[in-house]
Amino acid sequence: MFFNHKFIQSGNLFSSNNEIELPPKPLPLDRDECRLVSVNPKYPFLEPTLSGPLLWPEPERYLIDKNHHPYHIRTPINFELISHYGNHDNKGKKWQKCDIIEYNLNKYRYLINSMIERSTSVANSTQTCQSSASEAAINERRFLNKIQIHIARIDCDQYPEFIETSKNQEESYEIKVEPDNGEAGITSQTIWGMIRALETFSQLFYVDRENCAVVIDVVKVWDRPRFRYRSIMIDTARHYLPLWIE
């Protein structure tokens, strides 16, 4: 008695009578069921989770106000820097422009505007989206109109100094998107806190449930480093370090 067993030999599929059996053809896909989604957690096309947009590194604390409608975004967005930057201080000394501030403002301005333009280009052009856009255009309060950055002290050092007596090691920040006036504020003590805040702020934008527009929630974010020092972890399992024995 012979059984019609199938077995693998040299990477090919054979039957018991040594006839090659070709694998079945894949089923044709319905193009209407195909959907483009993003795998980048920074700029998700999918709707946010119940707790809001995915923020990483996760801030120490943040609150999303779901009692207010999210703001729609106009492009291009811009940042308004509020500090002694470029002005005179109390002693009449002229502040020098800081390349670190200029670089990061340009960097995140480009990232956020590019994300919004890409997301808008793939949004549905249905009647629902058109009516949603018309409704937002009528209600001026539903647009984020101003983004202000407040830096208490600008010490334009190349690197932060992680020592107890340093004044530029403060990396804490606060982000507020106000519920009524269409304004967002970023507050930090130093330029390093501003950089951390801009990274978190860039992750607050997402596409709404109708996949029609890029929006931002009414939100408050508080964050600071967990530790007062920086450390480096070396993977000694894959990186061998020389050890001198005397």
- The 10s digit of each residue's pLDDT in 111-153 is 999 888 887 765 545 555 655 555 655 565 588 989 999 998 8
Which pLDDT score is estimated for 5? 44
- Which amino acid, one-letter code, is at 85? Y
Phi, psi of 184 (to 5 degrees): -125, 140
- Specify the DSSP element, H or E, that contains 216: strand 214-216
Nearest-CA neighbor of 58 among 229, 228, 205, 224? 224
Pairing relation of β-strands 146-151 and 143-144? Answer: unpaired
H-helix segments, the chain: 99-121, 127-138, 191-202
SS3 annotation, 107-128: HHHHHHHHHHHHHHHCCCCCHH
What are the pLDDT digits (tens) for 192-205?
999 999 999 999 99
| Domains of the chain in sequence order | 43-159+166-223 (3.30.379.10)
Whether residue 205 contacts residue 115, with contact meaning beta carbons closer than 8 Å, is answered with: yes
* pTM score: 0.67
